[in-house]
Amino acid sequence: MKIGIIGAGNIGSTLAQKLAAHGHTIKLANSRGPETIAELATRIGAKAVERQEAVRDVDVIILSTPFDKHAELAPLLGGVGENVIVIDTSNYYPFRDGNIEAISQGKAESVYASEMLQRPVVKAWNAVLAKTLQEKGAAAGSATRIAIPVAGNDAAAKSVVMELVSQTGFDAVDGGTLAESWRQQPGTPAYCTELTSDALRAALNAADKACAPVNRDALINEFMSAGDSLTHDAIVERNRAVTA
């Protein structure tokens, strides 16, 4: 497949590398221009391009940018065909993205993102830490393979994304419609807790919509206060403990 990725941070660049290794043609873009990521792109098997080129003549577009950039990205997608799948990997954090009243009132983050982008999206790879994505993928069939939730309204598009998730080393679990994607947002038991498929399904079912933003803010404040003293495993354990 031909895949355009906008965002060359830890998640975007790791997805580019993993998907290129599976034979996909990857175009990688950021907000600062292809010259700033040319070396990175060459190293991971992608082509560095302008953002306008990243969305041209592709089958899939992956948006791996901060949540508050959706309105800025909308014009890029204006001429993109309806058959092109758009994947949103972002998460909303008020301290960084500002308070968005619609989300505070209960609208799912990716429903809001879809409205800002003015097109359907599939939510995937949002509920995984960068180090998890980089280092903890495993072969299909592994009893301890970590699972990642995928939510969206179009069954065919979601099926394609779930296969891409598997190719990056993780089981894909159907997270339901985009309206139900709040179950994989920050502060829920499914978010960055490194669960296997059965445990992830249970976590999605156990999510509490009212508790999620409270958990989200408590955890991010704790992590920011701790700075570099928290290990990756400690972050996963705290996510599990607070959201259980």
CATH number of the structural domain 66-243: 3.40.50.720
The DSSP H or E segment spanning 25 is strand 25-29
Residue 228's pLDDT is 85
DSSP single-letter state for residue 151: B
Check residue 227 and give its pLDDT.
86
Instruction: Concatenate the DSSP letters of all residues of 154-174 into one string.
Output: -HHHHHHHHHHHHHTTSEEEE
Residue 22 DSSP class:
T
Cα dist. 166→30, 91, 172 in Å? 25, 21, 6
By the 8 A CB rule, do 3 and 27 touch?
A: yes
Q: What is the pLDDT of residues 156-187, one digit of tens each?
A: 999 999 999 999 999 999 999 999 999 999 99
Average pLDDT over residues 97-103: 96
Tokens at residue 178, please? 């985009």
Q: Measure Cα distances from 32 to 35, 122, 149 in Å.
A: 8, 26, 31
End-to-end CA distance of the chain: 38
As to burial, measured by CB atoms within 10 angstroms (0-12 exposed, 13-18 middle, 19+ buried), residue 12 is buried
Select from 89, 113, 112 the least CA-distant residue to 102: 112
Helix (H) or strand (E) holding 222: helix 211-226
pTM: 0.96
- According to the model, what pLDDT value does residue 211 have? 97
Tell me the per-residue pLDDT of 105-147, one tens digit each, with 9 for 90 and over: 999 999 999 999 999 999 999 999 999 999 999 999 999 999 9
Phi/psi for 59 (5° steps) reads: -95, -30
Q: Please enumerate in sequence order all residues whose Cβ is within 8 A of that of 83, keeping only pairs 6 or more positions apart, or say none.
A: none
